[in-house]
Amino acid sequence: MALKTAQIGRCGELLVQYMLLLRGIESAPMTTDSGIDLVAYAPKGASAVTIQVKTNFQAKPGGGKGKPALDWWLREDSPAQLVALVDLSTQRVWLFTHEQVTSLAQQKSSGRFHIYMYTDPTHKPHKAGLIAHAYEFEKYLLGNCAHALFGV
């Protein structure tokens, strides 16, 4: 059974909400698509935070025929404070501030940022000096950075 793009996106939002709630962080979806998918509130932080969620169903060949990679395109002018990148196949969620997205994006083109993560740890990326493997983004996994971002 193949999921539609909207279903994949909604699954990603629900996974982010679930993982936040496990940490005592309340969240709610927005009713329209304005670049913000969720609003989250952590009682300890005492302020609301906006989140844009981008979801991959699974890794796909990088560049169409390369090594398996997850990738997300993000608006440079995103109104959201945080960006959640989701891999449904492994149920992993990475959480970034807008500033982190700006500095970590491997490509910047036409007002968009492109972040990709190779899932094969033995793959040698073409661009030296940039992190490009999923394991290199481990500190950004929601469970590893929620405390710093939400004070929980």
SS (HEC) of 105-133 = CCEEECCEEEEEEECCCCCCCCCCCCCCE
Tell me the pTM.
Answer: 0.93
Residue with tokens 């398996």: 68
* 13-17, 65-69, 90-94, 136-140, range with the lowest pLDDT: 65-69
Q: How far apart are CA 95 and CA 139, in angstroms?
A: 9
- Architecture of the structural domain at 5-150: 3-Layer(aba) Sandwich (3.40)
Q: Name which residue leads in pLDDT, 71 or 66.
A: 71
Domain borders along the chain are 5-150
Summarised one tens digit per residue, pLDDT across range 80-139 is: 999 999 999 999 999 999 999 999 999 999 999 999 999 988 888 777 777 889 999 999
Q: How many CB atoms sit inside 10 A of residue 128's CB?
A: 7
pLDDT score recorded for residue 1 = 67
User: Mean pLDDT across the chain, nearest whole number?
Assistant: 92
Q: Could you tell me what percent of the chain has a pLDDT over 90?
A: 75
